């Protein structure tokens, strides 16, 4: 019998435990949204606490309120109120040139006033 070994984490990037307010945008024109919390973060993805009542699609946008970082994400898994996402692209709102990212700026600035 082989000796007991610790669980081996096979993630490509190390995780950092965080508590970051975020907002998920989804739907045909991203008109649907849900506030959530990023509870761990790595270079390649995040674990997000978001109520399971929200029917997240396979791809959606995640806005990290502090820092104004916008992630285009792929849904990897869901278990109750926890969701794992992989990052496809990451941009900041400030200095953005894409119209769909610039369109998020008023919402982001309003969220910052209560953050």
Q: For residue 17, give the H/E element and its range.
A: strand 16-26
Rounded to an integer, the average pLDDT of 43-47 is 97
Fold classified for 16-110 = Thrombin, subunit H (2.40.10)
| Chain segment 54-108, per-residue pLDDT in tens | 999 999 999 999 999 999 999 999 999 999 999 999 999 999 999 999 999 999 9
Helices (H) and strands (E) in the chain, counts: 2, 6
Domain extent listing, the chain: 16-110
Kindly tell me if the per-residue pLDDT of 4 is higher than 90: no
- pTM higher than 0.85, yes or no? yes
The residues that bridge with 75 in the sheet, in sequence order, are 85
């Amino acid at each position: 019998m082989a000796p007991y070994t610790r669980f081996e984490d096979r993630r490509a990037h190390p995780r950092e435990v965080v508590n970051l307010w975020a907002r998920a945008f989804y739907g045909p024109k991203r008109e649907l949204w849900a506030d959530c919390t990023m509870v761990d973060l790595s270079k390649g993805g995040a674990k997000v606490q978001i109520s399971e009542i929200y029917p997240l699609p396979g791809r959606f946008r995640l806005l990290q309120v502090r820092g104004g970082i916008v992630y285009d994400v792929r849904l990897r898994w869901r278990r109750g109120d926890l969701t794992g996402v992989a990052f496809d692209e990451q941009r900041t709102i400030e200095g953005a040139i894409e119209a769909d990212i610039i369109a998020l700026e008023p919402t982001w600035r309003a969220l910052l006033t209560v953050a």
